[in-house]
């Protein structure tokens, strides 16, 4: 399964996403974030190959949705993805989920817990 995650604001949220990346055997890992995130992301010890997609989240939600669809549509190959929205704002989450549904692709939310990865 492919894993898609948003990296943005939120204290401690990057650790959740990096833990999900490192603790599962994903077919592909795609991270979405802005230019700041792109610069900082390189500092983290990621054990797997990750594709980073830069998104300008300062624009209108409609423009963000279109940008995500354009940049993500041809990168997803399976019928569903695992998705983490542990990091980010409501506007960013709404844009990402709306774009994924318009691609269209099924979504399984995932979270890293003490017991391991849980899917919803």
The candidate with the shortest Cα–Cα distance to 119, out of 106, 108, 103, 105, is 108
E strand or H helix at 84: strand 80-84
Q: What pLDDT does 102 receive?
A: 98
Other C-beta atoms closer than 10 Å to the C-beta of 90 total: 8
Distance CA 20, CA 67 (A): 25
Note down the domain range covering 104: 2-119
Q: At 108, which CATH number? A: 3.40.50.10770
Q: How many residues does the chain have?
A: 120
- Burial code of 68-85, b = ≥16 C-beta within 10 A, e = fewer? beeebeeebeeeebbbbb
Answer yes or no: are the C-beta atoms of 51 and 31 closer than 8 Å.
yes
pLDDT digits (tens, 9 = 90+) for 11-54: 678 889 999 999 899 999 999 999 998 888 878 767 678 999 99
Write out pLDDT tens, residues 54-95. 999 999 999 999 999 999 999 999 999 999 999 999 999 999
Domain count, the chain: 1
Does pLDDT of 10 surpass 90?
A: no
């Amino acid at each position: 399964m492919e894993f898609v995650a948003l990296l943005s604001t939120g204290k401690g949220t990057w650790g959740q996403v990096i833990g999900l990346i490192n603790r599962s055997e994903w077919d592909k890992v795609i991270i979405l974030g802005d230019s700041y995130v792109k610069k900082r992301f390189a500092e983290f010890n990621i054990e797997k190959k990750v594709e980073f997609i830069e998104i300008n989240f300062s624009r209108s939600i409609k423009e963000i949705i279109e940008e995500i669809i354009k940049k993500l549509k041809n990168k997803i190959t399976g019928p569903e993805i695992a998705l983490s929205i542990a990091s980010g704002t409501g506007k960013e989450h709404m844009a990402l989920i709306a774009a994924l549904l318009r691609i269209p692709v099924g979504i399984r939310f995932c979270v890293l817990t003490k017991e391991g990865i849980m899917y919803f």
